[in-house]
Amino acid sequence: FAEIVKRQGGDKWVHAPISRKEDSRLVRGQGLFVDDYKLSGMLHMSLVRSPYGHARIVRIDTSKAEALPGVVCTLTGQEIAAVCTPFMQIGPGDAQNIKDFPMAVEKAIYQGEPVVAVVAENPRIAADAAQLVEVEYESLPAVMNWKSALEDKAVLHPGMGTNHHWHGIYEYGDLDQAFADAAHVVKIDQMDFHRFSSTPLETNAVVATWTPGGGVDFFCNNSFPAIVIQMIAPALGLSIDQVRAKTQDVGGSFGNKIGNYPYMTLAALASRKSGGRPVKWVETRSEHMLAGGHGSERTYLDTEVALDKDGVITAVRSRHIDDCGAYPRYEPLGCVIWSQVLPACYKLRNIRIDFNQVVTNKGPSAPNRGYSRLQQLWFMERIIDICAHELNIPSDQMRLNNYIREFPYTTPNGCVYDSGNYPLLLEKAKALIDWDGWKQKQAEARAEGRWIGIGIGTTLDSGTNNFGQARIVNPYLPFSGNSEVATIKLDLDGTVVVMLGSTPSGQGHETTTAQVVADELGIRPDMVEVRTGFDTTFNSHGGHSGSYASQFAVTGLSAVHGACQKLKKEMKRLAAFALEANEDDLEFGIGQQGPELRVKGTDRSINYWGLSAMVNINTAGQPDSIADVTLNIRHVYRPPFKIPDVEKKYGNLTLTYASQLHIAVVEVDRRTYVPKILAYAAVDDCGNVINPKIVAGQVHGATAHGIGAAMMESYIYDKEGNLLTGSFTDYTPITVMNMPDLAFGEIETPSPFSYNGAKGMGEGGGAPLHTVSAAVQDALFDQNVIIRNSFNSPNTLYDAVKRADRA
């Protein structure tokens, strides 16, 4: 069977569609998630959260809670502020003045903000005791949208003095000239990208233990522990080496779990107050929805588009405002990251975005799959469709008129797109969905008065060196490029063991790692043990280790590949000595006694156990020539590829830009306004594919995620700051019942920037947002509707049609 599978991938394991190694362990319940982790004497934390969006905390009485048998202690915001300094803010500018404590101190600024922590012997007592805490609040006026945020009548963070924490102008090219030369200028009224998030199977969770030496040990599911310990340590007054974070299995993150460090900090302080007993906290689903971190909203104002006579977009100017909720935390960084894809897939050279971010009394923002890029891509795709309509150009032709066609391509702001073929993506997707057939059916349906639309969405992912490239546009960012580490060793028994510098949250890293190593050593993936458990003390190499930014296929696997090269060299030195052969005459393979090195064309060989024994057991009397051999290799990958001009200024930067093109056919019911997907196709280009099954799985997952966001998932607040969609009955994540059949295809334009030609692709979730909006738009153009909201619910569509009726 293995051989058949291998043949399907050519003569290599890389590219073979093998099933995921980790699934057998995970589906048997043999994973180790945070809630499975139990320590002797472990306590449990429950949180009392603010029911108000904005309220002063007048009085807190914890006496009844503390009197409940089994309760160990309580913690209030005042206590926290006495022992903790506010978290560093990632973004530059005014956000630095935000006092971001893990718990509300004098006032709560979003519904669900922690106000008191209760620590007890078991989770039920902790939850019961939390109900006994009395908190008196004085309700304050809530700031619930960007408009009132900008008025600054109520300022959320007094230290900042304003709710407007970021303003930057991103201007490239000659806008005045482009508009003066334009054959057409299209003006677009306000558009809005809505608030939604991800729904990982496992919610945020942590076990924290205050150690006798005065440090803290975390067992957590944070997806970026190497960086968050840099936030937690200063907040707790500790040095980095006193904070250790370990992860094992993580049940989905989608970026959100980077944001759970305030809860890690609370659990650490709870452990300290409890005399160093370990404290576990596991977020409930409701807490996750209320306060686990949402992707931020974006409003696009005053958009003007200049086009030439052929429908080629020559300039775009607009004003954008992000509503980041109560604490922007990662969003100022996100607002830099979006600018990587400023012109999207289009050869637009003149662009000016006046970019702003504000805080409001909504839940704090957190990175969410497609982190800030997808808002920009949605904006550009809307522009394409609206202009196509205005100029009476078919939406596919409009894209063909505007697509970038030559790679590497340097965008006006200096980012370098590595490779791609957007027209081919379009051609393949049209064939997959039967474009001509649907055009025919659409015409017939329209004649019957039905509202059927066909929409295209093109999207970009940008894996690898997010921070590095972000620095191009913001040189004062504290980061300058992603890198990753991997460790590979021949264990005592000769087993090949790989340890990664990050913990995956469902992306199949064990499998693709085993494929790479199997090819390098001439063995099978099942002969490679991949350990994904991560420990900031042992397998981090600094701030960049982590599962984020669609970086694993490029950065993570480059580290694995580099480690393999070094190990092979060491193994050859040993084998050449043992077999009295020349290193060049040796080859890797599988023999009678398992994986081995042998002298080509002979029966002389040594297996991995033999090699390991030479280093780990029979070390006495080894000659100097092999005395320094190690079979335990740690390799750090740093993107080595150089980008002319940019490199001179900012060092080596690499970013891969995977692309996807989706086409959807959507019918909007004329009576109920419910949109229904009738057909859906997605074509992916992530360069050379390491594992086609995993890539197909990622595309299916991301497409489901995006369709849910486009049609079913929206965090909506009332004027007082109450979350109206805080449960699965009103915030309805997509299930198989709503997921259309997906016609899936792949093209491969290898990246010249990665050793394996792969491009990061795990964040393709944005495409359905553009695609569904485009299809609904096409369905409703005849009703004079312009889709200007990314959430296509029956309510928003009804409003859009009625507004168009009135106009």
Name which of residues 214 to 273 contact ligand MCN (CB under 6 A).
Answer: 252-255
Residue from 52, 210, 327, 548 touching ligand MCN (CB under 6 A): that is 548
| Closer to ligand MCN by Cβ: residue 299 or 555 | 555
Which region holds residue 603: left if phi is over 0, alpha if psi is between -120 and 50, else beta?
alpha
Residue from 74, 356, 462, 507 touching ligand MCN (CB under 6 A): that is 507
| Closer to ligand MCN by Cβ: residue 224 or 715 | 224
Decide: is 639 part of the binding site for ligand MCN (CB under 6 A): no
Decide: is 560 part of the binding site for ligand MCN (CB under 6 A): no
Q: How far is the CB of 477 from ligand MCN (least distance, A)?
A: 18
| Closer to ligand MCN by Cβ: residue 522 or 692 | 692
Helix (H, G, I), strand (E, B) or coil at 207: strand
Interhelix angle 373-391/767-780, rounded to 10 degrees, is 30
Closest CA to 142 of 54, 50, 39: 54
Q: How far is the CB of 19 from ligand MCN (least distance, A)?
A: 13
Residue from 689, 742, 774, 800 touching ligand MCN (CB under 6 A): that is 689
Task: Using CB atoms within 10 Å of the CB of residue 350, give its burial: 0 to 12 exposed, 13 to 18 middle, 19+ buried.
Answer: buried
Q: How far is the CB of 583 from ligand MCN (least distance, A)?
A: 31
Name which of residues 346 to 385 contact ligand MCN (CB under 6 A).
Answer: 369
Q: How far is the CB of 458 from ligand MCN (least distance, A)?
A: 18
Task: Using CB atoms within 10 Å of the CB of residue 697, give its burial: 0 to 12 exposed, 13 to 18 middle, 19+ buried.
Answer: middle
- Contact window for ligand MCN (CB under 6 A) among 24-32, 500-508, 595-603, 798-806: 500-508
Query: Are β-strands 743-746 and 675-685 bridged in parallel, bridged antiparallel, or unpaired?
Result: parallel
Largest CA distance in the chain: 93
Chain CA centroid to CA 281, Å: 23
- Contact window for ligand MCN (CB under 6 A) among 71-79, 402-410, 690-698, 721-729: 690-698
Decide: is 505 part of the binding site for ligand MCN (CB under 6 A): yes
Decide: is 387 part of the binding site for ligand MCN (CB under 6 A): no
| Closer to ligand MCN by Cβ: residue 256 or 773 | 256
Q: How far is the CB of 683 from ligand MCN (least distance, A)?
A: 14
Decide: is 675 part of the binding site for ligand MCN (CB under 6 A): no
Residue 339: partners with Cβ closer than 8 Å, 6 or more residues away: 170, 353, 376, 413, 415, 470, 473
Q: Cα(745)–Cα(430) distance, rounded to whole angstroms?
A: 11
Decide: is 467 part of the binding site for ligand MCN (CB under 6 A): no
Decide: is 550 part of the binding site for ligand MCN (CB under 6 A): yes
Per DSSP, what are the bridge partners of residue 683? 661, 745
| Closer to ligand MCN by Cβ: residue 53 or 364 | 364
Buried (b) or exposed (e) across 67-79, using 16+ Cβ within 10 A?
ebeebbbbbbbeb
- Contact window for ligand MCN (CB under 6 A) among 204-212, 506-514, 717-725, 773-781: 506-514
- Contact window for ligand MCN (CB under 6 A) among 143-151, 178-186, 413-421, 505-513: 505-513
DSSP 707: H
Residue from 506, 525, 543, 675 touching ligand MCN (CB under 6 A): that is 506
Q: Locate the DSSP E strands across 544-616.
A: 586-591, 594-599, 605-607
| Closer to ligand MCN by Cβ: residue 595 or 762 | 762
Q: Cα(293)–Cα(364) distance, rounded to whole angstroms?
A: 5
Q: Is 275 in contact with 227 (CB distance < 8 Å)? A: no
Q: Cα(340)–Cα(461) distance, rounded to whole angstroms?
A: 10
Decide: is 758 part of the binding site for ligand MCN (CB under 6 A): yes
Q: How far is the CB of 510 from ligand MCN (least distance, A)?
A: 9
- Contact window for ligand MCN (CB under 6 A) among 167-175, 449-457, 501-509, 769-777: 501-509
| Closer to ligand MCN by Cβ: residue 675 or 766 | 766
Q: Is 280 in contact with 42 (CB distance < 8 Å)? A: yes
Q: How far is the CB of 662 from ligand MCN (least distance, A)?
A: 17
Q: Is 259 in contact with 363 (CB distance < 8 Å)? A: no
DSSP 69: T
Q: How many residues of this chain bind ligand MCN (CB under 6 A)? A: 35
Decide: is 552 part of the binding site for ligand MCN (CB under 6 A): yes
Residue from 247, 265, 487, 551 touching ligand MCN (CB under 6 A): that is 551
Q: Locate the DSSP E strands across 121-242.
A: 134-139, 164-172, 184-188, 191-193, 205-210, 216-220
The phi and psi torsions of 340 (rounded to 5 degrees) equal: -60, -30
| Closer to ligand MCN by Cβ: residue 411 or 551 | 551
Binding mask 691-720 for ligand MCN (x = CB under 6 A): x--xx--x--x-------------------
- Contact window for ligand MCN (CB under 6 A) among 109-117, 530-538, 617-625, 753-761: 753-761
Residue 113 to residues 47, 253, 522, 672, 764: CA-CA distances in angstroms? Answer: 9, 21, 54, 37, 31
Q: Is 774 in contact with 395 (CB distance < 8 Å)? A: yes
For the record, the structure tokens of 693 come out as: 């099954």
| Closer to ligand MCN by Cβ: residue 89 or 464 | 464
Which residues of this chain interact with ligand MCN, rule CB under 6 A? 252-255, 369, 463, 505-509, 512, 547-553, 686-691, 694-695, 698, 701, 758-763
